[in-house]
Amino acid sequence: MNTEEFNPIITVKNLQLAYGEHLVLQDVSFDIKQGTCLVVMGGSGCGKSTLLKSMVGLLEPVQGEISISGERLWDANSNGSKIFNKFGVLFQGGALWSSMTIRENVALPLEVYTELAEKEIEDIVRYKLSLVGLSGFENFHPSQLSGGMKKRAGLARALALDPKILFFDEPSAGLDPITSKRLDDLITELKESLGMTFVVISHELASIFDIADDAIFLDAKSKTLLDRGPPRTLLDQSNHQDVVDFLTRNESSNN
Amino acid sequence: MDKISHSNGSDKRELSIPGLEWTKEDGEVLISLSGSWSLSCPERQRVLRRWQSLIRQASDIEVFRISCTEDIAWDTSLVIFVRNAIDGFESEKKKVHLGFLPEGLKTLLIISKERKTNQGKTELEDIADDLEKFTADIPNYFVKPIEFIGAVIIASLELISGKSVMRFGDFIESARKCGASALPIVTLISFLTGLTMAFVGSVQLEKFNAKIYVADLVSLAMVREMGALMVGIIMAGRTGASFAAELGNMKLNEEIDSMRTFGISPISFLVLPRALALFLMTPLLTLYADIVGILGGLTVGTVVMNFSAVHYLEQTQSALTHMWEVYSGVTKSLIFGLIIGLVGCYKGMNSGRDSAALGKSVTSAVVVSITFIIVADALFETIFSYLELR
């Protein structure tokens, strides 16, 4: 794979992550091309969410570096806020701010980072909510929404600042197949129409084959990146039995 | 896997207790298991005790053969029994041969072989581990709070320079919650405090025929000490706990993480409005508590001791002519408010990520802030007395 031709928007080099003395991942390097969707796969406990946390600036790596659009994360000299409004993050449960309404949730990043007039913010919020199918829920509080709706509201908030990159922790976990398919379609649409880059953690195989341009497989035993490539290619050509097993689970259940 | 389900039903003649036969033959032991092996069967304990004594007597035997009768009924208890038997023999380097076993049991024996024994630690080692963890944590007790206070100071400077993301509405909301909403409880408690002090004081002062000095006693004690302290304790239990619970719950729901990923500082956005509101509301509540406490004293003075209200209030006024007592109480309460707000928010922000940890941090927010308040109060009084400010 020749990465020289494309400008990688995210580069991860020799990353080592740990919680205190408990090592989670080591020697992880990969990059992501702009406008593609990378899926992070692996069994539970292999460090997928931890990797995501470090990529969005919540967990400082023990070693190694992460760059987003050329800005190094976790570098004392780099300007944090310059990076932060380039990406959006959607946590597993949506992580909406529970004291605010849905409208306020989506509007807050806009209020903090832009000088837009209230009317304009209002329009943007309505548009983003319609994008995820939540029109009319502006004045609801997060506690009044179902799990799937919270996740979609979280997506609307993550999209508020038109980020170039979206990090997505298990979009389909706890969603019914139809809603989860809609989310997958939305990812593909946003990718194609806006050229957004996606980093998605997922075990849902149907959705992996749908959305992923590229995938990495993390392994809990060796605590590192086992293989990478488009899922179809991995399925046919991977040298690692674990990767093939992971991906064939889907094929057998479909037949 | 329907073979695993074995109620002791189908065969009526079947024994409903576990059977264990132990036959010695040519230096080998044949163990034959039969009957019904069920966790709920009380007879099992007896069989297990017998098993222990048989094992102890069989230390010279090298080969064991384990088999089951075909009509054995079993559940987890048999799996564990056979697994432990095999492991026990193998650890003593003895040979184990398995005869007939139900198919399902064989499968489960193989699966359970992989279980890891994790009981290697004695109680003493556990204590040692805890101690090690505690000592490794000691720097955290100092470093983390100092980092937190530093972050709050930076956030306050940002607020002063007008660059903060703190929303004024959040501040007003917090001020309403910890200020105006606390008025009923502050009223009740400080009124009763004043009342009680007047009763207690009147009994003593009556002996010296100096009953009117109840007004001095109540007003000085209330204004200088009890007002600030009572409000501090109420605020710690009411507002400090709710800060810790709110922020801890936000942390639990990844709300604080998601705020960070937007580059919005949770210190500016969540901690500052709360801490600032409490810092400003506590002195106001203290002044209010002082007045209500004096009214409590007045009630006793007029109703029980039959002074006229004017007389009582004039006496109170003369006791407080210098106003220094009032200032010292209010100064203290400013610091109390600061302590409660910071401790509550710190405990919430550093709460663990499960509901038990959340409860712990709320409790600890209250305990720590009340302790700090009392310590600060003692420090203040010591300093005031050395500086002869009275």
Q: What is the CATH number of the domain that holds B13?
A: 3.30.750.24
In this prediction, residue A4 has a pLDDT band, given cuts at 50, 70 and 90, of very low
- CB contact under 8 Å between A84 and B262, yes or no, is yes
Residues B70 and B192 in one domain: no
- Cα separation, B189 vs B285, in Å, equals 12
B70-89 pLDDT per residue, tens = 888 888 888 888 888 888 88
Residues B185 and B294 in one domain: yes
The C-alpha of B260 sits at a distance from chain A's nearest C-alpha, in angstroms, of 7
- CB contact under 8 Å between A93 and B262, yes or no, is no
- The per-residue pLDDT for B39 is 85
The C-alpha of B105 sits at a distance from chain A's nearest C-alpha, in angstroms, of 28
A156-170 pLDDT per residue, tens = 998 888 888 899 888
B206 or B389: which leads in pLDDT: B206
Is ipTM > 0.90 here? no
- The per-residue pLDDT for B238 is 94
Query: Do the Cβ atoms of B101 and B37 come closer than 8 Å?
Result: no
Residues B218 and B98 in one domain: no
Q: Which residues of A touch B249 (CB under 8 A)?
A: 98
In chain B, whose CA is at the least distance from the CA of A159? B262
Please check whether residue B261 touches A, CB under 8 A: yes
B159 within a domain of the structure (yes/no): no
pLDDT at B299 over 80: yes
Residues B83 and B170 in one domain: no
Minimum-distance CB partner of A95 among B255, B263, B264: B255
Percent of chain B with pLDDT over 70: 94
Q: Which residues of A touch B258 (CB under 8 A)?
A: 89, 91, 95-97, 154
B132 within a domain of the structure (yes/no): no
B124-142 pLDDT per residue, tens = 888 888 898 888 888 888 8
**Bridge partners, residue A39, by sequence:** A200, A215
Stretch B319-342: mean pLDDT, rounded?
92
Residues B106 and B178 in one domain: no
pLDDT at B250 over 50: yes
Residues B195 and B264 in one domain: yes
- The per-residue pLDDT for A190 is 86
Residues B206 and B332 in one domain: yes
B356-388 pLDDT per residue, tens = 999 999 999 999 999 999 999 999 999 988 987
Residues B323 and B382 in one domain: yes
Q: Which residues of B touch A115 (CB under 8 A)?
A: none
B127 within a domain of the structure (yes/no): no
**Boundary-marking domain end, from B84, B119, B154:** B119
**Boundary-marking domain end, from B54, B84, B119:** B119
In this prediction, residue B253 has a pLDDT band, given cuts at 50, 70 and 90, of confident
In chain A, whose CA is at the least distance from the CA of B258? A95
- CB contact under 8 Å between A112 and B258, yes or no, is no
Minimum-distance CB partner of A95 among B165, B249, B254: B254
- Cα separation, B270 vs B250, in Å, equals 10
In this prediction, residue B14 has a pLDDT band, given cuts at 50, 70 and 90, of very low
In chain B, whose CA is at the least distance from the CA of A110? B262
In chain B, whose CA is at the least distance from the CA of A114? B165
The C-alpha of B257 sits at a distance from chain A's nearest C-alpha, in angstroms, of 7
Minimum-distance CB partner of A57 among B249, B254, B261: B261
**Boundary-marking domain end, from B119, B146, B179:** B119
Q: How far is residue A14 from each of residues A9, A29, A31, A62, B202, measured CA to CA in Å?
A: 17, 5, 11, 10, 78
B141 within a domain of the structure (yes/no): no
Q: Which residues of B touch A73 (CB under 8 A)?
A: none
- Count of domains in chain B? 2
Residue with tokens 């109620």: B7
Residues B184 and B304 in one domain: yes
Residues B64 and B189 in one domain: no
In chain B, whose CA is at the least distance from the CA of A59? B257
Which residues 6+ apart lie within 8 Å of B128 measured at CB?
A: none
The C-alpha of A241 sits at a distance from chain B's nearest C-alpha, in angstroms, of 21
- CB contact under 8 Å between A97 and B262, yes or no, is no
- Tell me the range of A18-22, A62-66, B89-93, B150-154 where mean pLDDT is highest: B150-154
B130 within a domain of the structure (yes/no): no
SS (H, E, C) chain A: CCCCCCCEEEEEEEEEEEECCEEEEEEEEEEEECCCEEEEECCCCCCHHHHHHHHCCCCCCCEEEEEECCEEECCCCCCHHHHHCCEEEECCCCCCCCCCCHHHHHHHHHHHHCCCCHHHHHHHHHHHHHHCCCCCCCCCCHHHCCHHHHHHHHHHHHCCCCCCEEEEECCCCCCCHHHHHHHHHHHHHHHHHHCCEEEEECCCHHHHHHHCCEEEEEECCCCEEEEEECHHHHHHHCCCHHHHHHHHHHHHHHC
Residues B171 and B54 in one domain: no
Q: Which residues of A touch B260 (CB under 8 A)?
A: 57-58
Could you list the residue range(s) of the whole structural domain that residue B271 is in? 165-386
B257 within a domain of the structure (yes/no): yes
- The per-residue pLDDT for B219 is 94
B152 within a domain of the structure (yes/no): no
Please check whether residue B126 touches A, CB under 8 A: no
A203-234 pLDDT per residue, tens = 888 888 888 898 898 888 888 888 888 888 88
Q: In this structure, which amino acid lies at residue B314?
A: E
Q: Which of A90, A91, A167 to mutate to test the interface with B (most CBs of B within 10 A)?
A: A91
Q: Which of B133, B262, B264 to mutate to test the interface with A (most CBs of A within 10 A)?
A: B262
Residues B113 and B220 in one domain: no
B62 within a domain of the structure (yes/no): yes
